[in-house]
Structure formats: C-alpha cells, structure tokens
Structure 1
Amino acid sequence: MKPKTHHSILEDVIAVFMASIFVSLGIYLFSECGLLTGGTAGIAVLLTHVTPFSFGQIFFVVNVPFYYLAYRRMGTRFTLNTFVSVSLVSFISDYFRIFLQFEYVNPVFASVVGGLCIGMGILIMFRHVSSLGGLGVLSLFMQDRFGISAGKFQMVVDIGIVGVGYFLVPLPLLLTSILGAFALNIVIALNHKPGRYQIN
C-alpha cells in the first residue's frame, strides 16, 4: 500500500485551529508586556503604536499582498490554509482577553513562553501546508527554492523588524523582545529543516 503523504482536510482544519490558538496566546503574552515580535505580526504590532487600528485588523490587511506569492510559488492548498490561519489569528488575538486575563506577567517569562508558543504554532502550520503569511511565506519559499533554513532566515529578518522598535519602546523591552524572537525561531530552526515536511 502506498503511504499517505498528505494530511486530510479534517486534520488540516484541526491542526490550523490549534496552531492559531498557540500563536494568539503568544501574541497575547507579548502584548501584555508591551513586547515586540517579528514577521508580519511584528509589523502589525509596530503599526498599532502609530495607528488607531487593532492588531488583528492590521495583521489581516498586511498579509493580503503575500497571498499572490503564496499562490504562485506554493499552490492553492497552501494559500487557502494560510488565509484561514491568518484570519483565525487576526480574530482570536483581538478577543483573547475576553477568556484570559493576567494581573501580572514577568516580561522575560512572557518573551520566552510567548515566543515558544508562537514558534510551536508556526511549526504546526508549516507541517500542515500553511503559515502565518507574509515573511512565513517568504521563508518557506527561500527554503524550498534555495535550501536556506526557514528558521534561520526568519530569525535574521525578525531581529531586523524588532530593531525598528528601538524608536518605539524602552531599551529593556527591546532586548527582551529580541529574546522572544530568538525563542520563537529556535523552535522552527530545530524542528523544520530542508528535506522534511516539504510543501509538494
């Protein structure tokens, strides 16, 4: 019998929902401490400092241009799964505090645990032919096309995005945010390597 090479639609739906919960929890922990993150999520967080829109609203819009690249390079399935992932994270992140509130969160704890949660969520999405869109699409394309580690590529870009936060947040929070970016991307770098869980 030929081994099954793809997850079923039901498996994708369940996995993408779980992954979106992980990512939204991580973003919520970051937001509780005013931390920054990388990727299009990081861009959305930065824009919440200078616009009246919520994270979810900005995150959804920022990802729109990347769907074309996703469709051209990764295919219909990846594009649809990514659209669902981005939509869920956009919605859940804006309403997470309805279900969970903290009196106090240590910023270092939030950066590490939040980063690990987001990293695990992204890893699940990768393994179910999905992503958080934006730079996630670009990093998967770089890995698929040129063999560059998705985690390492995204780590470099993420640190650059967080670096922009130098002009928006105090230095201690900026350094803690970089720790969170490292925690996030180390999960991907250690668990998602070229040759494993390929898109096609």
Structure 2
Amino acid sequence: MRKHFSLYDMQGLAFGILLTSLGVTFLKAAGLVTGQTAGLAVLLSYLAPLGFGTLFLLISLPFFVLSWKRRGAVFTLRTVIAVAGISVVTQFLGHAMSFDALPPLLAGILAGACSGVGLIALFRHNASAGGLGILALIVEERTGFKTGLFQMCSDAVVFGIALIYLPFDNVLCSFAGAVVLNAVIAWNFQIGQARSALRRGCPPPFAHSR
C-alpha cells in the first residue's frame, strides 16, 4: 500500500511550495499580478490591508470542498499543506529578500518559470496549489482539456480585472509571466503521462487518492 506521505512525496511537496512561493515573491517585488487564485490574492493584497498569505488561504477554502468530493482525502490534505506552505513561505521570502533592480518583464518571466515548475512538482505528488488549480486538474482528467490551457482562460478574467487597478505596462508584463507559467505546465505535464508511468511501475506523477 502506497504511503500517504512518503519521503519521496514530502520532498516533492517542499520543492513545489518553495518554487511557487519564489514565483509569487518576484511578482510582488515588481508590482505584478498572475492568474488563478494566486492572482486574485496578489491583486487583492495591493488593495486590501490583508497580506497575500492570508488572502490566498481564504480564497482557497471553498475549493477544498470540491477537492474532497472529487479527488479524495489524500489529495485534499496535501493541497491544504501546499496552500498553507505557500502562504507562509511567500510571507517569509517577502521579508527576507530584496531587489535593487528587478525589471518588470524579467520579474514576470522568472515568476512564471518558477511557479510553473513548482506547480508541476505539486501535481506530480498528488497535490495542487488550491483554488482553480483543483478544478483545472479535474477538467483535464475528465475531458482531456489541458490544465495549462484551462488556466490561461481563467487568467484572462483576472487580467481583465487587473487592468482596472494596475498600470497597463505592469499588466502586460504580468501576462507575459502567465504565458510562461501555463506553457511550462502545458508542455511538461499531462494526466495521460501519469497513467502511463503508473502502468510501467514508475512513481506516478499524478494518481487518484485511495
């Protein structure tokens, strides 16, 4: 019986949390935004007195119910750990790191690359970063519509809202970062590959919770 929290899975979750948090840190340092639940949390953190970590956790809460019903207890617990970890680590990195020069376009690209790799790590270890990421995984599994492409569609809504509150140049650089993030996921992660790996006896990148 596969352990719910093996050392293999723990290192994967830790790596995913760290890389995703680093991506959000780049965004915050340059005054940018991203898509999905994290994007809403970043955008609200510019407008509300609450920090990103608190907002990210609060916005993700309703999606945990969907996760529990559709993905099971193990996936949901790991996702809760990932969301809480990203909330805490992002706050820590925001205070521990500073940048003398960080061009917005470079920040967007670095954020997209780091977060994309971090999210893939979470997906491969039967977790997600919460929010719409949970729905995206369910949609790909049931319909074949790629997670990255699903997230691009929802990102468009977030960026439309961001245009109201942020300078156009910042939103444009943010969009470039989101394209990088979702391209990394679309090109490097597929539910079908997870099933093939499982049939070959390899550690499954993404499997149903049992």
- What TM-score comes out, normalization by structure 1 length? 0.94
Q: What percent of counterpart residues are identical?
A: 35
Which residue number corresponds to residue 129 of structure 2?
132
Counterparts in 2 of 1:194 and 1:6: CA distance versus 1, 3 Å = farther
Partner of 2:192: helix, strand, or coil?
coil
CA offsets 1:90-137 (integer angstroms, 9 cap, x no match): 001111133321111011111001111000000000000000001100
Which residue number corresponds to residue 187 of structure 1?
184
Runs of 4+ in 1 over 4 A off after TM superposition: 4-8
- Give the AA of the match of 1:59: F
Which residue number corresponds to residue 207 of structure 2?
199
Which residue number corresponds to residue 78 of structure 1?
75
From 149, 156, 160, the equivalent of 2:157 is: 160
Structure 1: 5+ residue stretches without partners: none
- Give the AA of the match of 1:132: A
C-alpha contact 1:74 1:199 (8 A) present in aligned 2: no
Structure 2: 5+ residue stretches without partners: 195-205
Which residue number corresponds to residue 92 of structure 1?
89
Would you say how many aligned residue pairs link Structure 1 and Structure 2? 197
Which residue number corresponds to residue 99 of structure 2?
102
Which residue number corresponds to residue 119 of structure 1?
116
- What TM-score comes out, normalization by structure 2 length? 0.89
CA offsets 1:53-77 (integer angstroms, 9 cap, x no match): 0000000111010011111111111
- Give the AA of the match of 1:30: L
Give the root-mean-square deviation of aligned CA atoms.
Answer: 1.6
C-alpha contact 1:71 1:79 (8 A) present in aligned 2: yes
Partner of 2:181: helix, strand, or coil?
helix
Partner of 2:77: helix, strand, or coil?
helix
Which residue number corresponds to residue 39 of structure 2?
42
Mean Cα deviation higher: 12-21 or 189-198? 189-198
- Give the AA of the match of 2:83: V
Q: What CA distance in whole angstroms lies between the structure 2 residues aligned with 1:162 and 1:9?
A: 38
